[in-house]
Structure 1
Amino acid sequence: MATSSPAHRARSAAAVGLAVSFTVSLAVFGGATPAFADSNAKPTYEVKIDLTTSALDASHAPTAAVKSAFGISGSSKARSYEYFDTSALALNAQGWDVRLRHKSGSDFEETYKKRYPVTGGDIDAALDQANDEGFDSSDTNYDAEVDWGYSKQTLSFSNEKSHSDSGYSGTAMPSGTTGRSWVVGEIPGKLEDWNSKNWGADTLKSSVAQGPVTSQVWSGAWESSDDAGIEVLPVKAAGGSGTEYVIEVSFKADDYDDAAELHADAISVADAHGWLYHGDILKTQLILDRY
């Protein structure tokens, strides 16, 4: 039987050691790396500041001074909308909101929105969480936006579909049953199978219409935003009788720096005139809670 010399055996062992070392290095630095994840979504921004009823005139429209201060011009346009959720608000508890909206002269809008709270102004952390759950830059079915209120920020991803308004004039809404059939029929895949197979679809089938409400919106442009607006929304009072008014001035921006400046300036102007509501009124939650 042929045998190898001690020197040959030593050289062979060294070669095996190098091969093992090289293989381990590849596993650590190369082969173990998973497929590249898509980058985080790049959100746009909408600054939303609430005003007190001192900003309204006797007809519950913004006063001339308010409109002038925020670059609002022209007459208002009406819009009606409602949300669909279970009586226990199961969709909302998972960060999902489903809205049916009808603007005067337009088709119906069906919006499926997933929300992520922004903690301590850390928008990147919210984007990271959304990415982990499948909302990233590659998904063009959803528009990412940060709503920036008085003190709160919320990241959202919205999937919007349309439905013909044939047979519906003005801002008329369908019956709750009809509206529900529309939003169930158009449900996007992410919501349909959220949590588990068909969870979203089954939950939405068990939903009821929350609303509708009808608001008036005035448009304009202010500072860096060419999409400014004031919405006046009458809602059922907390006690169940009477009406309360939510007055929201908003400004859309493409980047963080513009949004930050709009946010600071809007608060400053509203506060200086005594119109500022020092807090955040979340319209969606208000409607879900009161209707």
Structure 2
Amino acid sequence: MKHWLAKASAVFLSATLLVSVLQASETVQAKGQEANMVPSYEVKLLLDSTQVLDGNHSLTPAIQSEFSLSSPKQVNVEYFDTNNLNLDAQGWNVRFRKKENKDNYELNYKKRYAIQNEDIQAALTLANSEGFDITDDNYEAEVDWGYGKQTLSISLDKKVSTSLNGALGLPSEAVARGMLLDKLPGKLKDWSSSNWGKTQLQNSRAYGPVLASKYEGSWNGLEVDVEIWPIRDAAGTGVERIVEISFKTADYNDASTNRTALINSLNDKGWLVPADGLKTQLMLNRY
């Protein structure tokens, strides 16, 4: 009798769960809401500049050997926002970049969402409610996973050809802002009201530039990047070199497993800074 009751209860619970799932699906369909975006993952960890940089502010032979790093390439980067950082306050970052040996400027528009308690789906659902869903082929979703926190980044990249023949020069502030306005995506343009984003960008200025160095290498079967960003220090009188190692993967479990392994390896060598850092925020705060 008890066995029959247990089986009946299990069947009832299964049926109840199925009804709940179907009801939720019907509710989503009734609202016309698409599925959440599927993110990739980028693990980013800070390195101790006093341990991994030599007297010339280049990576030491030890770390270059550890990650089979190539010769560095330079990247010239600046961000655009108003004096009051109105774009950043709404979670938007607008970047203008020129890479060494590339014949185009790279324009990036990124919306960030904080991830609480590692609940990635909650952040994706919030983004969905604000217009970023799986049907949008223009934007890419990525979880930036640092030492202690995760951030959902949804970004759109644009390119503008240049005749610099690979040189690193950036155009004037006005010209760069004009390019960013010309390529401005609709979601940012009308973010909180009609033409809100356009107005903010029209009233923006450049933060930077910073000439960063990027080394490419490999570790544990993954492609890794190590970047050195010489950012103005907090006092505004010198330079603080931010060193970061990162890798990307499409799979959550791969990101999690390799992140733990990389943290342990860096910590054993005394290279790890056990803290989170956001280069974008430092530039917006210090320039």
> Match of 2:22?
none
> Match of 1:117?
114
> Match of 1:73?
69
Residues 204-223 of structure 1: matches in 2 within 5 Å? 204-223=201-220
What SS class does the counterpart of residue 248 from structure 1 fall into? strand
Report the Cα distance in structure 2 between the residues aligned to 1:32 and 1:231, rounded to whole angstroms: 42
Q: Residues 146 and 153 of structure 1 are in contact (CA less than 8 Å); yes or no, is this contact kept in structure 2?
A: yes
CA separation of 1:31 and 1:44: change in aligned 2, threshold 3 A: closer
The farther-off stretch of 165-174 and 77-86 is 165-174
> Match of 2:61?
64
Shift of 1:31: 10
Shift of 1:224: 4.0
> Are residue 165 (structure 1) and residue 162 (structure 2) matched?
yes
Shift of 1:66: 1.4
CA separation of 1:125 and 1:164: change in aligned 2, threshold 3 A: same
Shift of 1:72: 3.3
Q: Which amino acid is 1:55 matched to?
A: V
Q: 1:79-101: CA deviations, max 9, x gaps? A: 00100000000000000000000
CA separation of 1:278 and 1:34: change in aligned 2, threshold 3 A: same
Q: Residues 42 and 247 of structure 2 are in contact (CA less than 8 Å); yes or no, is this contact kept in structure 1?
A: yes
Q: Residues 224 and 258 of structure 1 are in contact (CA less than 8 Å); yes or no, is this contact kept in structure 2?
A: no
The farther-off stretch of 166-175 and 103-112 is 166-175
Which contiguous aligned blocks of 4+ residues in structure 1 show a shift greater than 4 angstroms? 29-33
What SS class does the counterpart of residue 73 from structure 1 fall into? coil
What SS class does the counterpart of residue 69 from structure 2 fall into? strand
Instruction: Look at both structures and tell me which one has the larger radius of gyration over its CA atoms.
Output: 1
**CA-atom RMSD in angstroms:** 1.7
> Match of 1:284?
280
> Match of 2:174?
177
> Are residue 38 (structure 1) and residue 39 (structure 2) matched?
no
> Are residue 260 (structure 1) and residue 266 (structure 2) matched?
no
Q: 1:184-232: CA deviations, max 9, x gaps? A: 111000000000000000110000000000110000122242x311001
Shift of 1:32: 11
Shift of 1:33: 6.2
TM-score using structure 2 length: 0.87
Shift of 1:149: 0.5
CA separation of 1:31 and 1:148: change in aligned 2, threshold 3 A: closer
Structure 2 gap segments, 5+ residues each: 1-24
> Are residue 274 (structure 1) and residue 270 (structure 2) matched?
yes
Identity %: 44
Report the Cα distance in structure 2 between the residues aligned to 1:211 and 1:122, rounded to whole angstroms: 33
